[in-house]
Structure 1
Amino acid sequence: MKWAEISVQTTHEATEAVADLFHDLGASGVVIEDPDLINSYRQSGTWDYCDIPEELETEVVTVLAYLPVDEELEDKLRRFEDSFMGLVHHGIERGRGQIKWKEVLEEDWESSWKDYFHPVKVGEIIVIKPSWEEYQAQEGEIIIELDPGMAFGTGTHHTTAMCCRLLEEVIHKGETVFDVGTGSGILAVAAAKLGASHIRAVDFDGVAARVAQENVDINKVGDVVTVSQGDLLTGIEGQADVVIANIVADIIIRLLPEIPKRLKTGGRFVASGIIEERLADVTAAVLAQGMTVDKVVEEGGWVAMVMTVEA
């Protein structure tokens, strides 16, 4: 089968929004080539990038997606371009904005994942591993297995990696967790393997919910993780010990008024997907809800936060 590989050169700020646009078109795979992320992993030695030179231009992020070459392709490309150009109306800087596409065979883009995705230790104990590679877990490590051929990413982007490290600190055994905007379900799986006993994972996108369920099944945590399609916390009953939202700043701000009443006493709200420039906006929204900011971590131009409700 032939596929169209569409590539967009954009900014760190626009990365998640561009990926969402591709998902809305039904993209069968999205790849984010973040040069800043590549450099950080080269320097840490956690990935095998010996054949890839140090990236010098770190401000340009390339987002690639794959759509089937069929009678709908031309219309999808036109819709994508219109939506991409419209990001400026939402205050998102598009950057270079160069859009290209080419035809590739299915086996070419599926196997290309394997050249770049190897086991990565994203936290103190969490390791993300592709399904086709062997990995001997060290004592105390938690392994999350993914097949990028059916996931939206490898989980090693700054936003997800920071969340994983924060979850290692805040998740306690037996707790209830709500994962809002679960995407590929990585954080829901991590919460389960860290000892949470009841996790509700929800995403507005039906494809994301299906992918999350597949990753839950791969990791054999379906007994504690329930995946559903929905809009933020709508349809999720009760209160949680931890709410996770790895989304974008505007959606986090929209979600914040719901958080105090959806957290148990002493509960924590872990949020990521926030670009550095929006930290002040999110912080102001947190304080307006009577919550406190307990921790802020920054990496590669992105921010993650841990917040609690004041007693």
Structure 2
Amino acid sequence: MSQWIEVSIQTTHEAADLVAEIMRAAGANNGVVIEDPVLINTLRNSGTWELCDIPEQENTEVVTITAYYPEDEELQPRLTQIDEDLTNLETRIGKCRFGNTCFRTVSEQDWANEWKQYFHVTHIGRTLVIKPTWEKYTSKAGEHIIEIDPGMAFGTGTHHTTCMCMERLEKVLRPDMEVFDVGTGSGILAIAAAKLGAKTVKAVDIDATAVRVAIENIAGNELTEKISVQQGDLLHGTEGKADIIIANIIADIIIMLLQDIPGKLKSGGIFLASGIIEERQNDVSAAASKVGLCVEAVDAKGGWVVMQMRKED
């Protein structure tokens, strides 16, 4: 079984998203865990998330960002890059680290089980409900239940980027649309699209583990006939054109992907781009304009944005 290094950094609320971006850019392809005590307390008191036995958080000043990296020859360069980027960040904005960076060796199975402490039934938008496979939930009329076991793949629906993508999908997706999901991770957005009525969904991820996890989650939701999954680099290898393309990645990869989007969208098609920190919104907008995509809606939450773009006829 693969060995991974868990890297945890304690930071401020102001720097949390920037630190998370640094850790993702260093190669945390399976995403990052953001433990924000303020967010946990807010959700505990909102009545929208069944938090079970998670206690009220007392130290609300410190946010913990955790990422996982394979224990291979690339590990030390990754850690060096993170340290250099954090030092540069502190030069720009001031203190962004509390104490030393913490390291822990974990197996693939250990990592998967860590999620179960934080991932519970979550309601998103008007009709979507994310349910971990290990929890029970009685569905209500009109709800779309998505059963997920994220394993080693990014995407539980609780992070702002995934949540906002699903909310926007609920607004724009119409029956019989064809959808591409780029960087599918756990497959959660592909499953949401299918549950909301998409005719077909093509899901792609560069990571073999994510592809395996997505296939398992899709099968668990009985959507194998609607959703196909393949290992690939962004849109390379996908055939045909889509009514909607989703990419919940990071700003730099979104900008790189944009050059291929118009050729893969049908006339009037929509591109939903997420995983973008607010500071990079203008960069993504400029790149979209250059390839003939019009930004027609932007949702923001917790320092992140999802951008809805349309292919101009």
- Which of 75-84 and 204-213 deviates more? 75-84
Matched, 1:18 2:19: no
- Which of 134-143 and 279-288 deviates more? 279-288
State which of 44, 56, 60 in structure 2 corresponds to 1:56: 60
TM-score if structure 1 supplies the norm length? 0.84
Task: Classify 1:264/1:153 alpha carbon distance in 2 versus 1 (closer, same or farther; 3 Å).
Answer: closer
Q: Is the 8 A contact 2:148 2:186 kept in 1?
A: no
**2: CA distance, partners of 1:91 / 1:57:** 19
Q: 2:229 is matched with which residue? A: 227
Q: How many residues align?
A: 302
Matched-pair identity in %: 50
Matches within 5 A, 1:1-311: 5-9=6-10, 11-19=16-24, 21=26, 23=28, 31-35=33-37, 37-47=39-49, 48=51, 51-53=55-57, 56-57=60-61, 60-65=63-68, 77-85=75-83, 87=85, 95-96=96-97, 98-102=100-104, 111-311=113-313
Task: Classify 1:275/1:103 alpha carbon distance in 2 versus 1 (closer, same or farther; 3 Å).
Answer: closer
What is the deviation of 1:38? Answer: 2.5
Other structure's SS at 1:13 match: helix
Other structure's SS at 1:251 match: helix
**2: CA distance, partners of 1:109 / 1:263:** 37
Contiguous gaps of at least 5 residues in structure 1: none
Q: Is the 8 A contact 1:37 1:300 kept in 2?
A: no
Q: CA RMSD in A?
A: 3.2
**2: CA distance, partners of 1:54 / 1:242:** 42
- Cα distance per residue 1:217-256 (max 9 Å; x no partner): 2211111111111111110111100000111111111111
**2: CA distance, partners of 1:279 / 1:203:** 24
What is the deviation of 1:57? Answer: 2.2
Q: Is the 8 A contact 1:241 1:263 kept in 2?
A: yes
Contiguous gaps of at least 5 residues in structure 2: none
Q: Is the 8 A contact 2:255 2:287 kept in 1?
A: yes
What is the deviation of 1:210? Answer: 1.7
Query: Which amino acid is 1:306 matched to?
Result: Q
